[in-house]
Amino acid sequence: MIQTSSPKVLIQGSIFGIVFGFLLQKGGVAKYHVLIGQLLLEDFTVLKVMMSAVLVGSIGIHFMHRAGLVELHIKPTRYASNMIGGLVFGVGFALSAYCPGTGAAALGQGNYDALAMIFGMLAGSYLFAEASSWIARKIDPLGDRGKLTLDKWLPGSRTVVVFGTAIVICGMLVAVEFLCVQ
Amino acid sequence: MFETVRPMMLFTEVDSLQYSGSAWSPYLVGGLIGVLSMLTFYVSDKPIGASTAYARVAGMIGLLVVPKHTRSLKYFKDNPPTLGWELMLVIAVVVGGLIAAWTGDELTGQYLPAMWQDRFGEESYLLRTVVAFAGGILMAFGSRVAGGCTSGHGISGTLQLAVGSWVSAICFFIGGVVTAMLMFAI
Q: Do A49 and B98 touch (CB under 8 A)?
A: no
Looking at residue A61, its amino acid is: I
Helices of type H across chain B: 26-39, 51-65, 67-72, 74-78, 85-103, 114-120, 125-146, 158-159, 163-184
pLDDT digits (tens, 9 = 90+) for B139-175: 999 999 999 999 999 999 999 999 999 999 999 999 9
Residue-level pLDDT at B9: 47
Q: Do A2 and B173 touch (CB under 8 A)?
A: no
Count of A-B CB contacts under 8 Å: 570
CA distance from start to end of chain A: 56
Nearest Cα residue to B174 out of A139, A93, A97: A93
CA–CA gap between residue A94 and residue B94 (Å, rounded): 21
Residue-level pLDDT at B62: 97
- Secondary structure class of B43 (helix, strand, coil): helix
Asked casually if ipTM beats, i.e. exceeds, 0.90, the reply is yes
Cβ count near A181 (within 10 Å): 5
- Secondary structure class of A69 (helix, strand, coil): coil
Residues 106-165 of B with CB under 8 A from A: 106-116, 128-129, 131-165
Question: Is residue B6 pLDDT above 70, yes or no?
Answer: no
Residue-level pLDDT at A1: 65
Cβ count near B118 (within 10 Å): 18
Backbone angles phi, psi at A99, to 5 degrees: -115, 175
pLDDT digits (tens, 9 = 90+) for B96-131: 999 999 999 999 999 999 999 999 999 999 999 999
> Consecutive sets of 10 residues in chain A, 182 residues long: mean pLDDT of each?
90 98 98 97 96 98 98 97 98 97 98 98 98 97 96 92 97 92 54
Residue-level pLDDT at A179: 85
Q: Which residues pair with A58 in a beta bridge?
A: none
Measure in Å the smallest separation between the Cα of A59 and chain B Cα atoms: 8
Write down the pTM of the prediction. Answer: 0.95
Interface-testing mutation among B25, B42, B99, B159, with chain A (most A C-beta atoms within 10 A) = B159
Residue-level pLDDT at B10: 52
Q: Which residues pair with B83 in a beta bridge?
A: A4
Looking at residue B88, its amino acid is: M
